[in-house]
Amino acid sequence: MPLKVLHVVGAMNRAGTETMLMNIYRNIDRRKIQFDFISYSSQDAHYDQEIKSLGGRVIKLSKTWSIKGIYDVIKQYGPYDVVHSHTLFHCGIANLAALFAGVKVRVAHAHTTLDKNNSYSRKMYIKSMRLMINTFSTDLLACSNKAGGYLYGENRLVKLKYSYFPNTIDYSTFLQEPKIEITKFKMEEGLGNSLVIGHIGRFIEAKNHTFLLKIMKSVIKREPTIKLLLVGDGDLRERLENEAKEQGLQENIRFVGIRNDISTMLHSMDVFIFPSLYEGLGLVLLEAQASGLPCVVSEAIQPEADLKLGLVSKLSLVDGPDVWAQRILEVANKKETNTNKIIEAFEKNGYSLTRGITSLMNIYNYSDGGAHEKYNNRFL
């Protein structure tokens, strides 16, 4: 029997956590391991069809607070050896439901570092969910120290009660320039020989796209033909497009939506910009470094995301757009072309896909016979 893993996610759209899960799912031995996904989106998400083509199931739920809903899924589609939750403090609800359903391995996974809602009710919710997570989970994972501290509490870090799990990518797909595809894309978008700076991410507040427009207004004064390439989609895209028009920037900005050819997008850039207000780690920053791309990032980017290749320049958002514009122009022609150096950095920092899959299988306590009870678990 294959090991059966149920991932609890918001929706399997193209974002850092979801892309990491798909990188793993595409490369595991699916004859021995099955991934299913609980999604809280009624709409089809970006990866839903691919999941189904790989033999997985996407199970739609609408009530995020329903312990019974998750319990029923486990009973109907299981039995599951593992429930792996990626839904921030909601992980407490998911793993309590998994406990009631008799799941032996219950994983909570921290992917972000901030909650901007400071209301009293939210603080009480966080306190109660954190208690549930720490009580009912058998494994606590985090993509960075700060993400772990935020979800599980700083005391968990002091007591070393969680495991650091690096976001893994198939870095080999980014090492070489797809020259024909780059030429075609630049011709289609009218990029020509212009300096191209770029960003990949959802159009949400955390990604700070408005600051990107401020940077563009500054850098255009020094480099009038420069182009900004924005890859992704989201609720704030239309608003940002309107802001770009109002500020007279539309000729210098390309909104290209969600793309499957991320390697082509990155290799079409001269500098990658990442001015996030907060990040758990920043998977796309790893992809940018795999492409040898100089990166100018905010102080919100976690130190674990810097592979120490000399590609990452960190600035404060309070430095302002002029400082960012100056740094962008300074690093624009400083790509890393030594692929052996890049490979060594990924392997040294544990970000390789093979290593990540091995680590995850150990967490799941996988063997050819399936998952086994590795805990003296007082709840089962």
My answer on whether 298 and 236 are in the same domain is yes
My answer on whether 137 and 183 are in the same domain is no
Please give the residue range of the domain that contains residue 214: 171-341
My answer on whether 235 and 160 are in the same domain is no
Could you write out the DSSP letters of every residue in 164-222?
Answer: E-PPPB-GGGGSS--HHHHHHHHHHHT-TT--EEEEES-SSGGG-HHHHHHHHHHHHTT
Cα 210 from Cα 247, distance rounded (Å): 11
Q: Which amino acid is at 136?
A: F
pLDDT tens-digit series, residues 153-205: 877 655 556 788 877 888 889 999 999 999 999 999 999 889 999 999 989 99
> What is each CA distance from 214 to 22, 208, 329, 331, in whole angstroms?
34, 11, 15, 19
CATH number assigned to the domain comprising residue 293: 3.40.50.2000
My answer on whether 250 and 308 are in the same domain is yes
- As for how many domains the chain has, the answer is 2
Residue 379 lies in a domain: no
pTM of the model: 0.78
Residue 330 lies in a domain: yes
Which value, in Å, is the radius of gyration of the alpha carbons in the chain? 21
My answer on whether 53 and 196 are in the same domain is no
Let me know if 228 is exposed, middle or buried by CB neighbors in 10 A (0-12, 13-18, 19+): buried
pLDDT tens-digit series, residues 109-155: 998 877 666 788 888 888 899 999 999 999 999 888 888 888 998 77
Residue 196 lies in a domain: yes
Residue 378 lies in a domain: no
My answer on whether 124 and 105 are in the same domain is yes
Cα 33 from Cα 254, distance rounded (Å): 41
What per-residue confidence (pLDDT) applies to 245? Answer: 95
Residue 310 pLDDT more than 90? yes
Q: Which amino acid is at 150?
A: Y
Residue 346 lies in a domain: no
**For the chain, how far is it from start to end, CA to CA, in angstroms?**
22
Cα 311 from Cα 261, distance rounded (Å): 22
Higher-pLDDT residue of 64 and 343 is 343
Residue 377 lies in a domain: no
Cα 268 from Cα 258, distance rounded (Å): 15
My answer on whether 219 and 307 are in the same domain is yes
My answer on whether 216 and 303 are in the same domain is yes
Residue 138 lies in a domain: yes
Q: Lowest-pLDDT range, 19-33, 143-157, 193-207, 364-378?
A: 364-378
Cα 24 from Cα 360, distance rounded (Å): 9
My answer on whether 316 and 228 are in the same domain is yes
Let me know if 73 is exposed, middle or buried by CB neighbors in 10 A (0-12, 13-18, 19+): buried
My answer on whether 72 and 118 are in the same domain is yes
My answer on whether 104 and 212 are in the same domain is no
Residue 236 lies in a domain: yes
Contact 267, 289 (CB under 8 A): no
My answer on whether 10 and 154 are in the same domain is yes
Strands 295-298 and 271-274: parallel
Residue 102, token pair as written in the block:
């008799």
